[in-house]
Structure 1
């Protein structure tokens, strides 16, 4: 009873309603609204693992995880099992459900590392043959189709023929007796075809009157000429109905035969939908999966930035105020946490938030807190929150609290007695192994650990005389420290703050209060008890100072000293938080500065690489231009007879090209060497730095750059006026080496039939023999003109490969553009 009462106090049903909105099917929604809480940790771990796998599954956007077509077919299955006949629409719903569950099972089976879901759907049978039978017999509108049976098809063909005959006869009558017809339409009354006839002219169309208009001016008559056809049609309609029922009963019987499997399939579909709702609700809450810890050992309860799920819903759906998260971290040796602080400070919300977190973990929901989320598995969550006044039962606030606390202690006692009985039963069974030896007295039972229960108490001991209420609260918390795993209690009694210093199992916490704004911040502070702010609030709200002072004297100096100590602790905590915030901001600025410097360095490196590429391109252009000019000089030298004057002119032209193309030697700058303490410029970064140390052997130096020290090479720095460091190494002076004259320089390069071979149109294999002959003939001239044409380039490539390997070929190149370009190759012989 007390556990159900706790669920009501924590508003568990509201959370379940919110969860139900994320379900895709009616069954899933109903299951969410009536969510049951597991009674053992293994079941909770199983539910949590299911939620985690569905959560991961839904993160894959390529997978269409949908419950389309899955319906609540439970009533239909039960009626079929009892021998009832299902309608066409009900059978169609069963078929779509079978297809939908099969699709979900196939998705799970095609995934890797989803063992829990795979085990869940392993035994599900979707009966595709039944699904096909239903689709064959039932059309999309839920009606029995003509193809369902041969007999039904014949009956409906007869019905169509009869209907066509009746319509044709009625149309003829309308055309002949147009004056007697109220409106030229054919309609039905029941299963009989009739035409609207004017009442005064009814004798013109003899027949059976089946209906009349409200005014009596129109009679709906079935002419005598179609009565016989109407009777035949009625007979076929009856036969059609009998055949349709036979088909539906046959399909219903097939469903009844596999009732157990289909009922299990429906249960699995409901579990999948409920688990999917949990995963989607957890994602919406921005929750994280909890890990169940052993609180009796060394693991701490850790719930950082924990938010109340109902307040999150209120914020997002009802435009509520932002939710203030709380931090919960409880040492394993703690058994009781006393939360103090002002009214409306968030103490009760804190209790409910922790209680809901414990229940959410048990049912497989993620907890709206930051990772890691670590919490014990509580077998029971018992709470006394709010007033329980009852005029009918003559209960005061205090009496209501006591009645509920009695039920809590009884719940703890029952759980503890059950554990002791199990332990005693186990011992007695071990001792009864021999009938001749009398059983020895049972050994004393070792002290059992406290029941795995979370107790939440709001305003413990309130509602009565403060002295007696405080004493009762202390006694109750001492009892709960011995008999519950964790108790969290809120109170206004100052005496409870001192329990921490008398018993290591107690801990203090408080809700923060802003003295300046006289309002709570709703933050939970650990290790610091809350101050009594009543007199401060009264004074700032304008209460007579004399009254406040007298109240302070009646409280006593010791209480005031405690408040001052607490105020000092709160001030120190705020100062530490402010310093932590400043350190965080400084770290963010440092990271931003480092990012900017890295981006600038990367940009400079890219610019340097682009400059190098540009320089290389310019050098290549210059080389190509020089080659073209040299080739032109050579062609001029080849034309006509060779004389010493022409050779001298060619030499002068080559000298001019060399002077034009080779870079001019830059003027040597004055040598520069950095000194320790001097400020220099980092060339790559474009920033200034201070020289700290010079390493001449490594040709590097250590500099201070902002807040950092770094080692750079001498080549990467310059003076502030742009001077570079002169590296003391022997550099090879670049010289222009004259090209060794080849045979072409002494032999006139004149194109004749002896040094020219045309292999256009030949294959590479055929061309090689022609090239061998041509090389032998061209040995005297020292050069061979090979005309291979442009084409696809395969012949030219084959020729070049042949020339590379030929021992008589010194080098080869493509002819100038005016001599054939890429269609001609010049081969120079050794």
Structure 2
């Protein structure tokens, strides 16, 4: 593996990826994985990881179990014979592949890369069936594999029974008891024999096949069994040939499908590898990084994937306002970890892996990555000498190009501080002018000042807590690390006069730089506190805004519920009115049929009184709200006018005259809001008080027969929604003069059909109803006849 990859410990991340694979095929793909710098290929790799993570997040129990049967495929393709167990492993792999294919292709949502891999998994049902019919779960060829094998095994069983019967006769014989070493029979050289004592060998005629280690027992095949044993051996040889023929045939079937089977294995291997990337992403709590090819890195709350325990997240940017970052701070403060993390994140993205960082993290995967890291924290590396460092840096300088990412740990260390600092500044100048992106760690104060004075170069510091004498591991960009040597010495008890003398020996220039750094650090802390306070205020304002929006939404919902309640009440009044009108008209018609003139006149007068009472009742209900003009906004408004707010469904009182934007202030309940006149409708009523509006009478709605369809589709609605829709629909149907309509509710569980049945029984406009007949929709449709 590339030396830079090893320095940045990419190999250890890939080892974690190997552990997430469920097959040796997936592990092989991990071991051949190399970072790539083609932007589109990186996008495809990372998108595959994102799809895998989504599948695993939603379906963690995805079935997956395959064998590497490539050697068996190769052997079968050249005429080799596979054993039963090998054939069963092929079947198990094919069946699992078929299940995974069906599972993935049946998932909801669009996952083009995973879907394309799943579609490459072949189905070989005939091959699976042929093997399973011939090979049992123990790997042995079953009797029913062929009629000949079944016949041979039946004959073998019969011969074995005859031999055992003869042997049982020997064992039960009183005379034979004294010859036998044990009262049992056994098998030697695939032939049934008796254990005979050495001294009685001549009393039992037969063939000697073996003897015990002591020589006291001989295993003799009685002569009467020789012919049966011969026949048994002949049948077993025929059986073995038949089994071999069956396995040869099955192996040839496998060999014919070699290309398809190999393609399926490749797809399953890629699927295992892709799902392993998804599992690693979930384990790390990683995110899909944003990608660019503009030399820009934005790492938000990044965590080195190999660190254990509680990890302090690091955020940094590179390639925007500056292209070179100089990180300073104490030893063991996390400088090298930060350096490695940036390079490792870039390599991980090039491998198609998600990054353990916050949303919005961005890297440039097209950058070549170079690193010179002494890695004093790694037990696998020894301390690098200055010459070794410089040899590596020279190699980097000779290869680096614009846009490359260069990581230099303890740049210039290991030699005279003055010369080392000068050399470090020259190297960073070269990389900056070349257009590379560089991050360097250092202890030199000269480099801190250099970073301040040089365009495109920025300082960063790993914070150190002088109270606890420990680093915080928090990276602060824009401020160099403070000098902590004197602070640490004082905290540890070094005499103050020694510290003062050391400070005097430091030199005016260094003291000036230290004061500058201290002042900048304090400014940074103050700015951070102010930003934190501003963020708190912003969050509080956002919270208030959200609460107001929620209250407004609740208010609008309540208004909508009240309006719907009013509508339902109005429809109920209308239904009752229609029913009473029909009853009154029926009595009038009956009265007109009376021959007695006096009785006729009395019935008509009574009907007229009832109609007048009904009209008064309806007008009283209609007098609650009535806009002067429901379709047009008012042309003029005065303070005190009562108006209806169309968008809110509420009434309110005008508090101010219209301004230049034609807005007025309206009080709605306890709220005062500014509303454009076009959103208002003027309400006429005594005293201009909402809810006490003078009625103008009824407006009759006319509906033509063509406007109302003879059927309504209620499928997918709840019972309450369906009844509400049917109520309004029957009103329109009556006005349109329809005598018969169809309610389409579907069959389903029958809940909606039964609910509508109960509802129609009580409805005043329904004369009768029935379920649909043949050609009308059957039990999924109810036919309703309108009238009394």
Q: Provide the TM-score with structure 2 as the length reference.
A: 0.69
1:36 equivalent in alignment to 2:34: yes
Q: Is the 8 A contact 1:197 1:221 kept in 2?
A: yes
**1:582 & 1:86 partners in 2: Cα distance?**
75
Which residue matches 2:444?
493
**2:171 & 2:146 partners in 1: Cα distance?**
37
Larger Rg belongs to: 1
1:16 to 14, 28, 33: 14
Q: Is the 8 A contact 1:695 1:701 kept in 2?
A: no
Return the offset for 1:620.
3.4
Which residue matches 1:273?
272
Q: Is the 8 A contact 2:329 2:482 kept in 1?
A: yes
**2:5 & 2:246 partners in 1: Cα distance?**
50
2:354 to 366, 375, 378: 366
1:614 equivalent in alignment to 2:579: no
> More deviation in 584-593 or 534-543?
534-543
Which residue matches 2:550?
595
**2:172 & 2:250 partners in 1: Cα distance?**
47
Q: Is the 8 A contact 2:324 2:456 kept in 1?
A: yes
Partner secondary structure for residue 231 of structure 1: helix
Which residue matches 2:90?
94
Which residue matches 2:325?
337
**2:438 & 2:74 partners in 1: Cα distance?**
47
1:568 equivalent in alignment to 2:539: no
1:582 to 537, 548, 555: 537
Q: Is the 8 A contact 1:700 1:713 kept in 2?
A: no
Return the offset for 1:346.
2.7
1:158 to 155, 158, 163: 155
Partner secondary structure for residue 378 of structure 1: coil
Which residue matches 1:346?
334
Distance 1:135 1:627, change over 3 A: closer
1:375 equivalent in alignment to 2:375: no
Return the offset for 1:627.
5.6
Return the offset for 1:518.
6.0
Distance 1:330 1:613, change over 3 A: same
Deviation by residue 1:46-88 (Cα, 9 ceiling, x = unmatched)? 6446545656776886x997543x3112443555678765322
Return the offset for 1:619.
5.1
Q: Is the 8 A contact 2:666 2:675 kept in 1?
A: yes
**1:697 & 1:560 partners in 2: Cα distance?**
58
Distance 1:151 1:653, change over 3 A: closer
**1:176 & 1:22 partners in 2: Cα distance?**
67
Q: Is the 8 A contact 2:48 2:274 kept in 1?
A: yes
1:141 to 113, 138, 146: 138
Q: Is the 8 A contact 2:374 2:409 kept in 1?
A: yes
Return the offset for 1:42.
6.8
Partner secondary structure for residue 461 of structure 2: strand
Return the offset for 1:605.
1.9
Q: Which runs of 5+ in 1 are unaligned?
A: 315-319, 417-448, 736-788, 795-811, 815-821, 823-830
**1:791 & 1:596 partners in 2: Cα distance?**
46
**2:566 & 2:408 partners in 1: Cα distance?**
75
Question: What does 1:521-540 align with in structure 2 at a 5 Å threshold?
Answer: 521-537=472-488, 539=490
**1:31 & 1:687 partners in 2: Cα distance?**
70
**1:36 & 1:402 partners in 2: Cα distance?**
30
Q: Is the 8 A contact 1:717 1:724 kept in 2?
A: no
CA RMSD, 1 decimal: 5.6
Distance 1:598 1:351, change over 3 A: same
Distance 1:381 1:27, change over 3 A: farther
1:387 equivalent in alignment to 2:376: yes
**2:493 & 2:246 partners in 1: Cα distance?**
87
Distance 1:270 1:600, change over 3 A: same
Partner secondary structure for residue 328 of structure 1: strand
Return the offset for 1:195.
7.6
Question: What does 1:49-198 align with in structure 2 at a 5 Å threshold?
Answer: 50-51=48-49, 66-68=63-65, 70-77=66-73, 85-97=81-93, 134-135=131-132, 137-146=134-143, 152-171=149-168, 191-193=190-192
**1:571 & 1:699 partners in 2: Cα distance?**
45
Return the offset for 1:233.
1.8
1:691 to 635, 655, 660: 655
Which residue matches 2:303?
307
1:605 to 550, 554, 560: 560
Return the offset for 1:539.
4.8
Partner secondary structure for residue 275 of structure 2: helix
Question: What does 1:176-575 align with in structure 2 at a 5 Å threshold?
Answer: 191-193=190-192, 225-245=224-244, 247-248=246-247, 266-290=265-289, 292-295=291-294, 300-311=296-307, 314=308, 320-321=309-310, 323-331=311-319, 334-369=322-357, 370-371=359-360, 373-387=362-376, 397=383, 399=385, 402-413=387-398, 415=399, 449-450=401-402, 453-463=404-414, 465-481=416-432, 485-513=436-464, 520-537=471-488, 539=490, 548-555=499-506, 556=508, 557-558=511-512, 559-575=514-530
Partner secondary structure for residue 302 of structure 1: strand
Question: What does 1:704-783 align with in structure 2 at a 5 Å threshold?
Answer: 709-710=674-675, 713=680, 723-724=689-690, 732=696
Question: What does 1:801-820 align with in structure 2 at a 5 Å threshold?
Answer: none
Q: Is the 8 A contact 2:37 2:366 kept in 1?
A: no
Distance 1:813 1:240, change over 3 A: closer
Distance 1:387 1:696, change over 3 A: closer
Q: Provide the TM-score with structure 1 as the length reference.
A: 0.66
Deviation by residue 1:458-500 (Cα, 9 ceiling, x = unmatched)? 3333455544443343334334445683221222222212223
Distance 1:690 1:347, change over 3 A: farther
**1:28 & 1:239 partners in 2: Cα distance?**
43
Distance 1:682 1:270, change over 3 A: closer
Distance 1:462 1:707, change over 3 A: farther
